[in-house]
Amino acid sequence: MTKAKIKALFSRLREHMPEPTTELEYSTPFELLVAVALSAQATDVSVNKATAKLFPVANTPEAILELGEEGLKQYIRNIGLYNSKAANVIKTCRILLERHGGEVPRDRKALEALPGVGRKTANVILNTAFGEPTIAVDTHIFRVSNRTGLAPGRTVRQVEDKLLQVVPEEFKRDAHHWLILHGRYTCVARKPRCGACVIEDLCGYPDKVDP
């Protein structure tokens, strides 16, 4: 995809979604960290239902440690893999208190050292909580990047590196949110809604679906 098309693509997504953001509900970096940790292989809707009950009771590392692992499970048991997620959140709370003064670190290496936090989660935290121009590549972004020809790659890391290379600076901070929302609601996996797509004419996908 040419530089001109890439700029046009993000200009249209920005016009269509002027203030994109995560659909996870949070009010602090710590709440976001917990929500993202819980969201692996789960829907944002299911996570929001759980955190709507959890956060009014415990939304700091200290408060969640007071709940304990079994207490935490009572709030997240409707989320997939809740046993391992509860264990990781408890361990993360301890590390945050012991090494970071109870605060979420604004550092990739420190974030990725937390239990259950990989590169994708670290990118989400750095971008959404701290405004860093990182691009976390999930299933939706991987699909959109390859399907449109924006940033083709065989692996998640290849796509991430390509996006960081081709996305103009003015769009980098919000690129993650634009692409994930576009993939979630328009460029869906089985039958993309090409007729409702604002970037359809810029897309290189050869098997476009009629409206």
Rounded mean pLDDT of 1-6? 96
CA gap 208, 206 in Å, rounded: 6
Q: What is the CATH number of the domain that holds 122?
A: 1.10.340.30
Confidence of residue 40 (pLDDT cuts 50, 70, 90): confident
Query: Does 138 participate in catalysis according to the annotation?
Result: yes
Query: Does 208 participate in catalysis according to the annotation?
Result: no
- Decide which of 130, 147, 170 is a domain's last residue: 130
Q: Per-residue pLDDT for 211 more than 80?
A: no
Shared-domain flag, residues 87 and 51: yes
Shared-domain flag, residues 65 and 98: yes
Nearest to 151 by CA among 132, 175, 130, 131: 175
Catalytic one among 120, 191, 201, 210? 120
Shared-domain flag, residues 112 and 91: yes
Total domains present in the chain: 2
- 145 neighbors 152 (Cβ within 8 angstroms): yes
List, for residues 74-85, the tens digit of each pLDDT value: 999 999 999 999
Give the annotated binding-site residues for [4Fe-4S] cluster. Answer: 187, 194, 197, 203
Shared-domain flag, residues 69 and 146: no
Give the annotated binding-site residues. Answer: 187, 194, 197, 203
Query: Taking the model in full, what pTM does it have?
Result: 0.89
State which residues form the domain around 164. Answer: 3-20+134-202
Give the count of beta carbons closer than 10 Å to the beta carbon of residue 58: 18
Shared-domain flag, residues 55 and 148: no
